[in-house]
Amino acid sequence: MINPKYKKRAKFYKALAHPTRLFIIDQIAQQEKCVCELTEMVGVDISTISKHLSLLKNEGIVVEDKRGKNVYYTLKCPCILTLFDCVKDSLKEDG
């Protein structure tokens, strides 16, 4: 039987397994962003961005800060950027 901690880790990694979510993480790693900014940057409707952000939030990757009508997101798990750098190096990507 697989230990539950591995199932939890797999769920975390699965949250990263989408190009839009990777883009969102890259953007908010640079500076907090509101949902409206991310919607404009990605070019999809607000409900799609909200679903991606909700998944990332549920896995503890991002946190939200509600200010008036806007919701801003920041990276809760900055160590994830080390993983991103490792993957980038393994794939020999530029930037």
Profile the chain (95 residues) by mean pLDDT over runs of 10 residues.
91 95 96 96 96 97 95 94 91 77
Within 10 angstroms of residue 74's Cβ, the number of other Cβ atoms is 14
Phi/psi class of residue 70: alpha, beta or left (left: φ > 0; alpha: ψ in -120 to 50)? Answer: beta
Provide φ and ψ at 49, rounded to 5°: -60, -40
In this prediction, residue 92 carries a pLDDT of 86
Return the structure tokens found at 67.
């200010």
In this prediction, residue 57 carries a pLDDT of 97
Distances (CA, A) of 19 to 2, 4, 22: 28, 27, 5
- pTM of the predicted protein model: 0.89
In this prediction, residue 1 carries a pLDDT of 84
In this prediction, residue 95 carries a pLDDT of 62
